[in-house]
Amino acid sequence: MKPNETMLRIRKPTRNNQLFPGFGLSLGFTLVYLALIVLIPLSAVVLKASTLNASAFWETVTAPRLLASYRLSFGAALMAGLINSIFGLMLAWVLVRYNFFGKKLVDSLIDLPFALPTAVTGIALASLYSKNGWVGRYLEPLGLKVAFTPLGILMALIFIGLPFVVRTVQPILEDLELEYEEAASSLGATRWQTFRFVILPTLFPAILTGFALAFARSVGEYGSVIFIAGNIPLVSEITPLIIITKLEQYDTAGATAIAVVMLFISLLLLLLINGLQAWTAKRTGRNL
């Protein structure tokens, strides 16, 4: 039997010959699961925050201490995401394009922030960058204080967000065919031009995805940040800490009001990033 005839004899999937149940049942399971895990908890937060009247809600979420924590939490998360996008791309490039001694060990260490408990990460960073730490003792005489400052928060967020970018970019870079680079080089393109016009457009949607994942993780991070932040009001106090503080004071409505604001801002930023990612992917596909 010829290969073409064999291909023709393969049965195409039909409604009665599918791996999973029909569309209706699958959609029902999906919606129920999504509602239980995501929609109902978020709705409960919004409903609890709605017990405050408009003036009390606005007064709670716009207090000077809260505004300073918003700027620190979202600003540090965005900055950490940008730094991880650059250095995560570099790490993924080295792991994919080069062979060197200890490569598997380095590749395994990338996932270390996933395995470590967040509290262990915070304690380790605080010990490392404190005034008497292994690194902090050399930075302190230079006037560079890391632990218990916003810079320490940034260091913690970079640490926990790096794997998201590396693991998102790495498989795309592995599948990138070298023929495009060779063609660009044969046409006289420099290394920078090849990277800028051939490689980067293909990797950019993956970089944006890694940035979005790292940002989402960083915004709500608590365990690894709390030990190195210093928790000084208006200086190094993150928004999740204020939420925890209000819960400890049995101010559930105030805590959920702050959570709603963080949720709203995070959703807006993630929608913006996803929209940019879709536009970039569409433009890249059209150019190809």
At residue 287, the pLDDT reads: 56
Integer Cα distance of 256 and 262 in angstroms: 10
What backbone phi and psi angles, to 5 degrees, belong to 190? -75, 170
For 11-61, how does the pLDDT look when each residue is reduced to its tens digit (9 = 90+)?
555 555 556 667 778 888 888 888 888 888 888 888 888 888 989 999 999
The pLDDT of 227-236, averaged and rounded, is 87
pLDDT classification of 6: cutoffs 50, 70, 90: very low
What backbone phi and psi angles, to 5 degrees, belong to 191? -60, -40
pLDDT classification of 158: cutoffs 50, 70, 90: very high
Angle at 222 between CA 216 and CA 223, to 5 degrees: 125
At residue 80, the pLDDT reads: 95
Integer Cα distance of 252 and 4 in angstroms: 67
Determine the length of the chain: 288
Give the whole-number percent of the chain exceeding pLDDT 90.
33
Does residue 190 surpass a pLDDT of 80? yes
Does residue 182 surpass a pLDDT of 90? no
For 255-265, how does the pLDDT look when each residue is reduced to its tens digit (9 = 90+)?
999 999 998 98
Tokens linked to 78: 């965005």
CA-based nearest residue to 176, from 285, 107, 96, 90: 96
CA-based nearest residue to 87, from 139, 163, 153, 144: 163
Which range among 4-13, 50-59, 92-101, 150-159 shows the weakest confidence by mean pLDDT?
4-13
* DSSP result, 139-185: HGGGT---TTSHHHHHHHHHHHHHHHHHHHHHHHHHH--HHHHHHHH
Does residue 157 surpass a pLDDT of 90? yes
Helix ranges restricted to H, the chain: 3-9, 23-34, 40-49, 54-61, 64-97, 103-109, 112-115, 118-129, 136-139, 150-175, 178-186, 191-194, 200-219, 223-229, 239-248, 252-287
pLDDT classification of 8: cutoffs 50, 70, 90: very low
> Which of residues 1 and 209 earns the better pLDDT score?
209
For residue 279, the one-letter residue type is W
The pLDDT of 199-216, averaged and rounded, is 89
The pLDDT of 227-254, averaged and rounded, is 89
What's CA 202's distance to the chain center, in Å?
20
Q: For the chain, which residues make up each domain, given as ranges?
A: 21-50, 53-287
**Class of CATH domain 53-287:** mainly alpha
Does residue 87 surpass a pLDDT of 70? yes
The pLDDT of 231-249, averaged and rounded, is 89
For 261-286, how does the pLDDT look when each residue is reduced to its tens digit (9 = 90+)?
998 988 888 888 878 777 776 766 65
